[in-house]
Amino acid sequence: MIWNILVVVVTIVTKSLETLEVDLAGLVKQTVAGNEGVLHNCSSDQDQVLQQCYIDMFQSYGSNVTSLPPADEDPFKKIRYDATGMCSTYTTLRHCHSDVINDCLNYNTFNAIFGSESNAAYYISQTGFLEFYCNYGNDFVAYYECMQAISLNDLSDTIYTECSVLEVGSCDSVSRTTQCERAVVRKSCGNSAVKSYCQYQKILTHMTGWNFCEYMPCINSSQPRTFFFLIILMYLCKIFV
Ligand SMILES: *[C@@H]1O[C@H](CO)[C@@H](O)[C@H](O)[C@H]1NC(C)=O
Ligand SMILES: *[C@@H]1O[C@H](CO)[C@@H](O)[C@H](O)[C@H]1NC(C)=O
Ligand SMILES: *[C@@H]1O[C@H](CO)[C@@H](O)[C@H](O)[C@H]1NC(C)=O
């Protein structure tokens, strides 16, 4: 029963996304620079193989590229618009030299290819989105609905946006941002949405290496529930100071 309802909801949302031909860019979670010290570094041969798999993917959308386009060209845009083909594209990517992709798909590899933090963060953030959308469809729908609910409430929307303002690449900042966002998600959409938010966060922290921190919300289990009110308090203080 529940499963049927879920399937219907997934279908409805997917259908409406298809017919609207929306760009899902607004739902792509941005990432900061990765935790380089803990992430596996692949050999430059492996980096080349991974790079070629991405090039093949862009070429399958008609882009005539011979090296990876930088973030400001937004090469994933065509893929995000292709709601019907996006996931078979992603499956093809994962099966293109899957041994290398499995070992090397992380922030460090893109940073080695580009020598640029922002390009590496872009590729991880876009790839993480595909992984979430294609492999965790039910969680994606719950996340999508919650992001809509948050955007309709001015206070939640402002706090959610503020959550990431101080995020730089460190265990402390990533953990604080995650805790803050998770609190807004819980307050606005309840615990089942928290599970979906955390699924997305797990994918991203896995690719950026922030899952190795001593404490990371969504990765480690303890969850201080009073945190949301602390955040509200901090936020109100900022308004009045
Ligand atoms: C991977 O390479 C980066 C950049 O050279 C370095 O900072 C980092 O410590 C390396 N990571 C590991 C696990 O060796
Ligand atoms: C692709 O780009 C190369 C080099 O920029 C060019 O020589 C070639 O004609 C292009 N091919 C197509 C199909 O546009
Ligand atoms: C949190 O999880 C990480 C990765 O699994 C682990 O290394 C760390 O020790 C955990 N921290 C705590 C406080 O349990």
Compute mean pLDDT per 10 residues along the chain, 241 residues long, and list them: 51 52 80 96 98 98 95 95 94 97 98 97 98 97 96 96 92 96 97 97 97 95 59 58 48
Q: pLDDT by residue (tens digit) across 102-137?
A: 999 999 999 999 999 999 999 999 999 999 999 999
**CA–centroid distance for 156 within its chain:** 20
145 lines ligand 1 (CB under 6 A): no
Residues in Cβ contact with 190 at an 8 Å cutoff, skipping those fewer than 6 apart: none
Bridge partners, residue 108, by sequence = none
72 lines ligand 3 (CB under 6 A): no
Which residue out of 35, 39, 110 has the highest number of ligand 1 atoms within 8 Å of its CB and is therefore the one to mutate?
39
220 lines ligand 3 (CB under 6 A): yes
Let me know: does 171 contact 35? Beta carbons within 8 Å: yes
What six digits make up the tokens of 102?
A: 């499995």
Torsion of CA 29, 35, 36, 41, to 10 degrees: -70
In the chain the first and final C-alpha atoms are separated, in Å, by: 52
Q: From atom 2 of ligand 1, which residue's Cα is the shortest distance away? A: 41
pTM of the predicted protein model: 0.84
What six digits make up the tokens of 236?
A: 């109100």
Ligand of minimum distance to the alpha carbon of 218: 3
Other CB atoms within a 10 A radius of the CB of residue 101 amount to 19
Q: pLDDT by residue (tens digit) across 211-239?
A: 999 999 999 986 555 555 565 556 655 55
**How close is the Cα of 23 to the center of ligand 2, in Å?**
27
